[in-house]
A and B are shown apart, each in its own frame.
Chain A
Amino acid sequence: MNYEVKLGDRVASIDVRADGEGWLVSVDGGPVRRVTGRRQGATGWWLDAGDGLRRAVDVALRGEQAFVLDGVDPLRGEVVDPREHALELAGGGGAGRVTTQMPGAVVRVQVSAGDSVHAGQVLVVVEAMKMENEFKAPFAGVVASVEVAAGQAVESGAVLVVLDPADA
């Protein structure tokens, strides 16, 4: 299985195959290394990837979102199965999904399907605690669909609005 893994600024293409009690792993097409280890508790892993690369880390996955705790460092990113994305791109025509980074409640939806928007235009405002967070269009385009309504609670990673780029 191949995954696109992004943590912080680091992006890697990682192949994983089962190998008895462990795994065979290749990072960015590099040499295949045998990884052994085990799951420990709800999110814990003890992993040994050889060459002294072994320690305890914690991993939480929510959909494609990944949260890795390595020591005290929270590393955030995603683990994507490119095959799923290939399907999406084929069907979605390069649409841009605007997603939340935190759970909250939708305060306002400022666009409707079919609206033309400019880059940086506020699409949806989501409140968490007492802070309002504006979600803006990453590029100019047309609103393909609005996936939320005012007052609705949203999870971290939820799709708020789907945009079609202006110049496809």
Chain B
Amino acid sequence: MWELISKLFDTSDFPARWHCGHWTSLHGWIHIISDFAIWGAYAAIPIILYYFISKKRDVPFSFIFILFGGFILSCGTGHLVEAIIFWHPWYRFSALIKFATAVISWATIFALIPVIPKALELKSPLELEKIVKERTSELERINENLAIEVVQRKEAEEEQVQLAALVNSSYDAIIRKDLNSVIQSWNYGAEKIFGYTAKEIIGKSITVLIPPDLLNEEVDIMRKVKSGGPIETFESKRLRKDGSTFDASITISPINDTNGNIIGASKIARDITKQKQMKKDLSEAMEKVKQSNQELEMFAYVASHDLQEPLRMVASFTKLLEEKYKDKLDEKANKYIAFSVNGAKRMQELINSLLDYSRIQRADTEPEELDCNEIVNEVILNMSNIKETGVKINYLELPKVYSNKIQLSQVFQNLISNAIKYRSSRPLVIDISAKKEKDKWLFAIKDNGIGFDQEHAERIFELFERLHSTKSYEGTGMGLAICKKIIEKQGGGIWAESEADKGSTFYFTLPA
């Protein structure tokens, strides 16, 4: 062994190949030139390979290339030595080279074997292109989705911006606080209402805004918020920066994160001091009006009541005068006395009617179920002069209604007595009927009396309005006004239809 290595280039034991056998020049030079050519190629190839690897730095299995380069180079060197042996018989060197070549070659094989399956997996350009295409289209799809997501995000952002603008432009205080009651956001409205700027107040506890005697409200509120319950809007007092308190209407809602956990609460507070004041003023004004109304009615009642006394004196004594001294006085005196008596009598009727009118509002007996047939019957019975007038009154199957007996009787009485009073020369017939219309009863009292022009139909219901002088027909002008007040008090309406010389129909409605 040692001999081999120490005498690597020793040529003493061997002849040069030219001298070993009968070589023709041609034969010899074919070997030599081919070996040189092979050596050249086998030297160039590794250089090319090296160049390839160095340029393409990410070549897989690069060590295979090195091995390849190695055995090719080694093999090439072997061929070179074979050519050289024609002159210098370096058979030992040749052996070494050949041995090295064999080793590297087999090493390459052994290195290749495990690599082959991996190499098989390497994609061909076609396959790679296909893969690239797939990847590209997938990317495009992903891109599209991203684009959509971007649009959605943008929209969400815009909405956020708008919401933020909404919150900020609100005149209500909109405040966000965390579960420790620390203020986290503060809008323009809050600045205006409470007086603190956002910078001053964010980070402070919300209790800064609560008057000291109401601090337990916050405890209650946070408890409710944490339990996730809804908190109804409530009224309370809150504290401004300048120390003044004001009435506030407060709404608190829990704020959840995306997982549904409660992370804080939003508080919307509105300054309702003005509102409260207005409400107070309104109810005060209404009280005053109510009181004033009551006073007026009391006045009307008292006036009519107290007026009756002296009136009784006037009426009684003028009549007594008439009775006792009619024969003793001249015509003029009798006439004067007659005027006085008449005047006093009309005044009494007027005051009675006024008293009735003023009593309508005060009368608040519980409404009861009334049979209108009975009411009309009673009213007719109470009218003493009916038989004399020869009037025929028809009423059939009038309904039952909920009303006040005295007042309803008064309505029928007034309408019937009007019909009788304003009768014509023909025999008077009065028809009383009732019709159900949706949720009310429509009553009609129809007569064939003297009637009136439809243009007066509204006027006659006004207080003291009369279409005829007292000379032609007596009366105070209050009967229909009283009917109107009674009917309207019970939630109905009253009106009339008429034609001069033909007759009139008076209608009124009552809730069924």
Do A and B make up one complex? no
Listed in ascending order, the chain B residues whose CB lies under 8 Å from chain A are none
Listed in ascending order, the chain A residues whose CB lies under 8 Å from chain B are none
